Structure 1
Amino acid sequence: MTQNPNLAALSEAGVSVWLDDLSRTLISSGGLQEQIDTRSIVGVTTNPVIFQNAISSGGGAYADQIAELAKSGADVDATITALTTDDVRNACDVFAPIFEATDGLDGRVSIEVDPRLANKTAETVEQAAELWKLVDRPNVLIKIPATAAGVPAIADVIAQGISVNVTLIFSVERYREVMDAYLDGLDRALRNGHDAGKIASVASFFVSRVDSEIDNRLNAIGTPEALELRGKAGLANARLAYAAYQEVFETETRFPDLQAHGALPQRPLWASTGTKNADYPDTLYVSELVAPNTVNTVPGKTLEAYADHGWVNTESIVGLEGSSREVFAALRGVGVDLDDVFAVLETEGVEKFEQAWDELLTATSQQLDAAR
């Protein structure tokens, strides 16, 4: 099999392409391996919505295991934990060769803590450690949301030597807190005797949702100046995030001390990169977010669109901090409250994952009842 040239070019430009999807059927059918062989996929992310779709509509893929769990008396939470950790473990095994070939940079598979714990620090830390032990693979990443309660949990989990994918980041201000938490966690991990080179982390910065929320507000304002700014906020926000990443990991003095002990930088990860507005190019948040040491988690539909007609713009991020700040100044100038935007997006992000988890609980409970 040969790699798609568009996606191969994206990888060569320094972007690690991770698939934003996972299911038992995708693994068992060989579809995941095919994505690796033909689409330059070097990792996978999951979230409650993905698992809700996979398990609720998975047909017979999960039936035998659910029947066994029902027979053993497992409750719905234990069942979901078993189903999801098995899928992630098996996916980790598929990606093991990439993990080894890249010295742990890629070949990563993410699994998220229960979204109902998003505002509970201690419980998040406890479940992150539990998931780490259950999956029992060095290439797993435990996803923790970047809520006010999640930030200290990130530091605590990193301090235990556990690799973390920080999710639901919307603002650069919160992103800076996340990077500080990562560095604090590394400091503590070293003092706890962990090998810093074995601890990985990515920071998942959501993109398209920013445009969706801000575009709605710009449409409501309705002035020519406001309407002219539609579709510019998401990319500007990501570019400012990358500038913050460069500042912390390439310019400031704190990280080199940790790097001397083998520590890895916490790479920016572009999430929510499927275009939600049909007026925008369907590969916009992939083609226009190209920079070294980044990850892009791509939904299947967007992946195929990029394979067909995506382009690589190597001048899409680096050096655009100034123009991105001008976009934000213009947004404030027409009346967009950016602090409120980011607060709303974080709250809605948690709520969407909680809703998907509740739906998964209901569907799995029904399957358990039927199996009994």
Structure 2
Amino acid sequence: MSHHESALKSLSQAGVSIWLDDLSRARLNTGSLAADVAERHIVGVTSNPSIFAKSIGDPDTTDYDEQLADLRERDVTVGEAVRMMTTADVRGACDVLSETYERSQGVDGRVSIEVSPFFARDTAKTIAEARQLHWLVDRPNVLIKIPATQEGLPAIRAVLGQGISVNVTLIFAPERYKEVLEAFLLGLEDAKANGLDLSRIESVASFFISRIDTEVDNRLGDAGASAELRGTAGITSARLAFEHYESVLASDRWKALEDEGAHPQRLLWASTGVKNPAYPSTMYVDELVTENVVNTMPQATIDAVAAQGQESFSDTIRGTYETSHAVMAGLADAGVDMAEVTQLLEDQGVKSFADAWQGLLDGIEKSLRG
């Protein structure tokens, strides 16, 4: 193991599951995903509409040509074509990670695929598509991604209650995260009432970080007394979410589910690529280390962690709660309305995924009819 891989190993040993925030047919065909799993301590994969728009929409890729030709021959709708292509990638990644899945008793080795972003405000359609994606991928280690919108919350409960594992996505606020954890607990209680094996159900809650800083820093501006608050909102929000996670894990309600074999809904740090070049490239990794969390990183962030070669990582979440509450109070005093910020980010997140998905559909439409 090179000194470069040792940092990734150290991070894993500190309790952080490293997942890759990227997926493409090329990663499967070339064996690069399998190599990353073998050598770089990658124990999961996340995808989203933007990732697929980029990988399938890449003008230089020929990886999807054969499948596209078959789909064209069969005259399928563009929606079906895209689902066939994306679920094939996810199924392939699930197979690459199946050993990791077995070894971790189903906690890691997970691959995420998102329900259509067009359904983010529609509970019934989200449930229906989550069920279909689960059936279509047909692997025990798939996670169905459902956004933490107000309409997504009851879908999260319903899908978990049917024994389908869920990655809750687009969480920006500790307050919304509390509702997500509630939906998780209700879903597991439903699953228990439905006679399901709780130890087979896995869930993560994807808390988006860099986008919070981008918006808050923008509002703080460069000058003035609030300069020291720049670059603090994202990490602080994430730490406060973890504080709530810990309080729920200490509750009798959770203990009753745990006694039935339930696994906790781990927090997953998402959007951990640094968008502001003034910040250290591994800031959203180094500042969010603790046991039993996931950090899903784009390739550049994984490379940055590896290149820094850090020998050990200490816990940077537990013990920060008092300071974190003070930072939030400071942001409020500086005139930043976090409720407004996080609602805006959710709306933007849903829209950017919908735009990416539409772009992908339009591109495939051309290929099918071309």
TM over 0.5, yes or no? yes
> Offset of 1:328 from its aligned partner?
0.5
Q: Any idea what the Cα deviations from partners look like across 1:105-159, whole Å, max 9, x if unmatched?
A: 1000000000000000010000000000000000000000000000110000000
Give the partner amino acid of 1:227. A
Distance 1:241 1:346 in 2: 16
Q: Any idea what the Cα deviations from partners look like across 1:268-307, whole Å, max 9, x if unmatched?
A: 0000000000000001001111000000000001110110
Which residue of structure 2 lines up, in the alignment, with residue 52 of structure 1?
53
Q: Any idea what the Cα deviations from partners look like across 1:330-370, whole Å, max 9, x if unmatched?
A: 00001111110011000000001001001001111111112
Say whether 1:262 aligns with 2:264: no
Equivalent of 2:173 in 171, 176, 198: 171
Q: Any idea what the Cα deviations from partners look like across 1:42-79, whole Å, max 9, x if unmatched?
A: 00000000000010116211011111011111010000
Distance 2:245 2:83 in 1: 34
Distance 1:27 1:86 in 2: 10
8 Å Cα contact 2:10/2:313 also seen in 1: no
Which residue of structure 2 lines up, in the alignment, with residue 142 of structure 1?
144
Distance 1:92 1:105 in 2: 13
Which residue of structure 1 lines up, in the alignment, with residue 341 of structure 2?
341
Aligned pairs (5 A) from 1:173-322:
173-219=175-221, 223-249=223-249, 251-309=250-308, 311=310, 312-322=312-322
8 Å Cα contact 1:283/1:310 also seen in 2: no
Give the partner amino acid of 2:92. N
Distance 2:27 2:282 in 1: 23
User: 5+ unaligned residues in a row in structure 2: which ranges?
Assistant: none
Distance 2:337 2:138 in 1: 44
8 Å Cα contact 2:18/2:42 also seen in 1: yes
> Offset of 1:94 from its aligned partner?
0.4
> Offset of 1:191 from its aligned partner?
1.0
8 Å Cα contact 1:287/1:310 also seen in 2: no
8 Å Cα contact 1:288/1:313 also seen in 2: no
When residues 347 and 310 of structure 1 are mapped into structure 2, their CA distance, relative to the original with a 3 A threshold, is farther
SS at match of 1:204: strand
Distance 2:89 2:145 in 1: 15
Which residue of structure 2 lines up, in the alignment, with residue 115 of structure 1?
117
Off by >6 Å, runs of 4+ in structure 1: none
Distance 1:367 1:56 in 2: 10
Q: Between the two proteins, what is the percent identity of the paired residues? A: 49
8 Å Cα contact 2:14/2:315 also seen in 1: no
Distance 1:201 1:310 in 2: 30
Give the partner amino acid of 1:56. G
> Offset of 1:314 from its aligned partner?
1.6
Give the partner amino acid of 1:19. L
Distance 1:153 1:302 in 2: 32
Say whether 1:99 aligns with 2:110: no
Say whether 1:11 aligns with 2:12: yes
Give the partner amino acid of 1:39. R
Equivalent of 1:132 in 126, 131, 134: 134
Distance 1:5 1:353 in 2: 34
Distance 2:225 2:329 in 1: 12
> Offset of 1:210 from its aligned partner?
0.5
SS at match of 1:137: coil
Which residue of structure 1 lines up, in the alignment, with residue 153 of structure 2?
151
Q: Any idea what the Cα deviations from partners look like across 1:226-272, whole Å, max 9, x if unmatched?
A: 222101111111110111110111x1111110111110000000000
8 Å Cα contact 1:17/1:296 also seen in 2: yes
SS at match of 1:61: coil
Distance 1:346 1:71 in 2: 39
> Offset of 1:180 from its aligned partner?
0.5
> Offset of 1:308 from its aligned partner?
0.2
> Offset of 1:313 from its aligned partner?
4.0
Which residue of structure 2 lines up, in the alignment, with residue 34 of structure 1?
35
Distance 1:228 1:102 in 2: 41
What TM-score, normalized to structure 2? 0.97
> Offset of 1:319 from its aligned partner?
1.0
SS at match of 2:97: helix
User: 5+ unaligned residues in a row in structure 1: which ranges?
Assistant: none
Give the partner amino acid of 2:137. V
What TM-score, normalized to structure 1? 0.97
Q: What is the RMSD computed on CA atoms of the aligned residues?
A: 1.1
Distance 1:267 1:27 in 2: 27
Aligned pairs (5 A) from 1:330-369:
330-369=330-369
Give the partner amino acid of 1:209. R
SS at match of 1:59: coil
Distance 1:227 1:86 in 2: 47
> Offset of 1:223 from its aligned partner?
4.7
Give the partner amino acid of 1:232. T
